[in-house]
Amino acid sequence: MELQARRGIGLVAHDAMKKDLIEWVLWNSELLMGHKFYCTGTTGTLILEALREKHPDESWDFTILKSGPLGGDQQMGSRIVDGQIDYLFFFTDPMTLQPHDTDVKALTRLASVENIVFCCNRSTADHIISSPLFMDSEYERTHPDYSGYTKRFEDKHVVNEAVESVKKKKKK
């Protein structure tokens, strides 16, 4: 199958799942060639090292962010919001409480808000990468319309009301 579309792919894995994600990337490396990757620190460094060992003559386009707990999850979320990431492969460890759980929840929420392809385990990742849509250059995800939310104060005079309230309080 020939590469049809260049995708932005986020790769993240909790410590107990790093080996699984590295194996998955190596197994699917031919399908992943030519895409742009965004990875949290340790995960990205390990994956890139493994890819260079398997494919020493191939050039890989990787952006390595900070470690997840040190802000990498938030950097990944920022790239999702900016439209740079189309797929997020985040192999989570369901058996271990993560010290940065709030960051993980925020990242997974942004994936949902932006309607990107998101998976948290190898079985789902296998289904995604084997989908004809993964290679389809014609496929574009639907971008949710949040204009109702973003314009919710458009016809309300909340700023004027706040200014008037402060003026009244200062006169007292």
For position 73, which CATH number holds? 3.40.50.1380
Burial class of residue 32, CB neighbours in 10 A (0-12, 13-18, 19+):
buried
- Count CB-CB contacts under 10 A for residue 65: 22
59 is in an annotated binding site: no
At how many degrees (to 10) do helices 18-27 and 41-54 cross?
40
Q: Which of 57, 73, 86, 155 is catalytic?
A: 73
42 is in an annotated binding site: yes
Quote the pTM value.
Answer: 0.88
Among 22-31, 38-47, 75-84, 138-147, the range scoring the smallest mean pLDDT is: 138-147
- 100 or 150: whose pLDDT is higher? 150
CA distance 51 to 154: 50
Give the domain extent around 90: 8-144
Does residue 160 belong to any structural domain of this protein? no
pLDDT band at 3 (very low <50, low <70, confident <90, very high): very low
Does residue 119 belong to any structural domain of this protein? yes
Rounded to an integer, the average pLDDT of 64-88 is: 96
77 is in an annotated binding site: no
Whether the per-residue pLDDT at 4 is higher than 70: the answer is: no
73 flagged as catalytic: yes
- 103 or 36: whose pLDDT is higher? 36
63 is in an annotated binding site: no
In the structure encoding, which two tokens stand for residue 7, read together?
Answer: 């995708």
| CA 159 distance to own-chain centroid | 35
Q: How many structural domains comprise the chain? A: 1
Q: What is the pLDDT of residue 161?
A: 87
Measured CA distances, 14 to 11, 21, 111, 121, 169 (Å): 11, 9, 17, 11, 52
